[in-house]
Amino acid sequence: MFLTVVVVVVVSAALVAGAAWGVYGSLPPELEGFIVALAGGALMVSAVLELIDPATEVAPLWAVGASVLTGAAVFSALDRQVKRKFGSESGGGLLAAITLDGIPENLALGVALIGAGPLQVASLSGSIFLSNLPEAAGGAQQMATGHSKPKVLGLWTATAALLSAAAIAGNLLFAGVPDAALGLIRCFAGGAVAASLATEVFPKAFKEDRYATGIATALGLVLAIGLDQLS
């Protein structure tokens, strides 16, 4: 349980640190885009290696595929509703999208920590950390133009607390669930992650960093594979 709490706090702290960075500091857009793309590449590998592939050993392939597609469909539908209500460029919309995306991600993180050692979850938790950091910075920066800085930071801190609770809940509630069911839950989260990469992460990175996005994505992929080999 101690490992779970440490990893969850570190990952969720990225939202608070990112929000503080967005409200009180700044980075060149190109560097921000590079970081987002690097995190996306790492998260893409982690979704496959840590969430989806292990399920193929304990559940039928059709069930794995259906769970992945369901996760992607649910995220896409929720993300569409967020965009319609808040607008694609609003900080509030990004906050809502990160919350919707982060809940299944953090549930999966909590599930992945069941019976796992530190190195086994390093790739997944590290890539979620890297993706949360610049996304929170961008959203908080946009929100700060119309709200007080302490209020914006408070909203993102509350979001971090909510996502931390989701990860801990995933770890506690699914501890006794059969391996096949756990695998399909991870696949659902993997599908949500894949959809978020396609609709949120890579488009944002390309907008900021243009063609260096491809290099950053490949670098993130290599780093994630390297971390996986250590486990």
Predicted confidence (pLDDT) per residue in 26-40, tens digit: 777 788 788 888 888
Task: Flag whether pLDDT at 145 surpasses 80.
Answer: no
Task: Flag whether pLDDT at 210 surpasses 60.
Answer: yes
Say what the pLDDT of residue 92 is. Answer: 61
pLDDT single digits (tens) 38-55: 888 888 887 888 789 989
Say what the pLDDT of residue 115 is. Answer: 64
Task: Flag whether pLDDT at 197 surpasses 80.
Answer: yes
Tally of CB atoms within 10 A around 58? 15
Is 105 in contact with 201 (CB distance < 8 Å)? Answer: no
**Average pLDDT for 186-196:** 85
Task: Flag whether pLDDT at 166 surpasses 70.
Answer: yes
What pTM does this model have?
0.77
pLDDT single digits (tens) 92-109: 666 666 676 677 667 767
Mean pLDDT, the chain, rounded, equals: 80
**Dihedral angle computed from the Cα positions of residues 119, 125, 127 and 131, in that order, rounded to the nearest 10 degrees:** -170
